[in-house]
Amino acid sequence: MTTLRIEPTGGPLGAFVTGIDLTRPLDAATASALRDAAVTHKVVFLPGQDISLDDLERTTDDLGGRTDTPFVTPLPGRPMVVRVLKEADAKIGFGEAWHTDLSYLPEPPAFTCLWSSEIPPKGGDTMWSNQAAAYAALNDETKAEIDGLYAIHSAGRPYGANGYYAQVKDQLSMGIEPSAEADKEFRHPVVAKHPDTGEPVLFVNQTYTIRIDGYEKERSDRLLKRLFLHAVQEQFRYRVQWQPHMLTIWDNRATQHFAINDYQGHRREMFRTSVKGAPLLAV
Ligand code: SIN
């Protein structure tokens, strides 16, 4: 087994992991240690990984198995790999709003892997927010209100036939496939029990969570607005400056993230895979 060197960022989440070479297949113990590190630190950054897309797919399998990304055109011949691309002349990026990946699915991915192929000379950072810390910081009254509630998630706003990406499709560098299918709804607990650690995590995000199940609109909007703002406050966040060929793996059940689009005139290219998840249960 390889011994991982794990250096926490000192922030509310994140650790840099070295001492591992992802161009080689991982033994089961090392794969499990890497997965554990991603659960413990919520996001792990592995700099200096000169990996191929085959290596990225194999690492994704080692972490629990690949799953696809609906409404985003995958790479030819690699149905589970997405290219997150913004060309130098494009204005609109991908993931420029707080979200938890694919939270509109019955089984949102457990982890996301994002590998930097080409980064701008400055900018293009990504931020994550720790949703276990966000839950823990809520006052008792709010906890009592939201424990046991369910929220409805849908991909309709970004990916619906007339959704955001359908409006800006021509200004994007990557293939998005808006569809009426995106309007499907699915319900998750507002406070989910993390499947690996059992810790309560706040599980609502402004991109995909559309209402509180059973609340009338005004009450639902008021509560969600408050939770969305609370969930991504500075004290729960870590922001990484990408290095070329860095693989980042995040625990999608316990985080939200935001890709900062502040590098106009430069190209940014990343490759992304998702690791299979499981249904989220209430605490
Ligand atoms: C994403 O939301 O998956 C993209 C994140 C990024 O490009 O930094």
Domains and CATH numbers, the chain: 5-278 (3.60.130.10)
pLDDT in tens, 5-31: 999 999 999 999 999 999 999 999 999
Identity of the amino acid at 218: E
- Say how far apart CA 46 and CA 36 lie, in whole Å: 14
Q: To test the ligand 1 pocket, which listed residue (98, 126, 252, 275) has its Cβ within 8 A of the most ligand atoms?
A: 126
Distance from the alpha carbon of residue 95 to the mean position of ligand 1, in angstroms: 5
pLDDT in tens, 122-139: 999 999 999 999 999 999
DSSP 169: G
Atom of ligand 1 nearest to the CA of 93: 7
pLDDT in tens, 59-107: 999 999 999 999 999 999 999 999 999 999 999 999 999 999 999 999 9
**248: closest CA among 33, 8, 15?**
15
State residue 168's pLDDT score: 95
State residue 79's pLDDT score: 98
State residue 247's pLDDT score: 98
pLDDT in tens, 219-275: 999 999 999 999 999 999 999 999 999 999 999 999 999 999 999 999 999 999 999
Q: To test the ligand 1 pocket, which listed residue (257, 263, 269, 273) has its Cβ within 8 A of the most ligand atoms?
A: 257
Cα dist from 35 to 27, 43, 94, 165, 248, whole Å: 12, 10, 26, 32, 12
- Residue 126 Cβ < 6 Å to ligand 1: yes
Q: To test the ligand 1 pocket, which listed residue (270, 271, 273, 275) has its Cβ within 8 A of the most ligand atoms?
A: 270
**255: closest CA among 58, 109, 118, 99?**
99
CB neighbours of residue 222 within 10 Å: 12
Do 269 and 84 touch, CB atoms closer than 8 A?
yes
pLDDT in tens, 42-68: 999 999 999 999 999 999 999 999 999
State residue 2's pLDDT score: 83
Q: Token digits for 110?
A: 């457990």
- Say how far apart CA 101 and CA 44 lie, in whole Å: 16
Strands 66-67 and 268-275: antiparallel
Do 142 and 200 touch, CB atoms closer than 8 A?
no
pTM: 0.97
4-36 as b/e: b if 16+ CB within 10 A: bebeeeebbbbbbbeebebeeebeeebbebbbe
Residue nearest to atom 4 of ligand 1 (CA): 95
Q: What is the DSSP string of 119-151?
A: --SS---EEEEEHHHHHHTS-HHHHHHHTT-EE
Average pLDDT over residues 193-213: 98
Distance from the alpha carbon of residue 182 to the mean position of ligand 1, in angstroms: 19
State residue 1's pLDDT score: 75
Residue nearest to atom 6 of ligand 1 (CA): 259
Residue nearest to atom 7 of ligand 1 (CA): 259
**244: closest CA among 264, 265, 262, 267?**
267
pLDDT in tens, 152-162: 999 999 999 99
Cα dist from 171 to 92, 93, 97, 155, 198, whole Å: 6, 9, 17, 20, 42
- Say how far apart CA 192 and CA 254 lie, in whole Å: 9
Cα dist from 45 to 17, 18, 34, 173, 251, whole Å: 6, 9, 11, 25, 12
pLDDT in tens, 138-147: 999 999 999 9
CA 189, 130, 139 angle in degrees (round to 5)?
A: 65
Residue nearest to atom 1 of ligand 1 (CA): 95
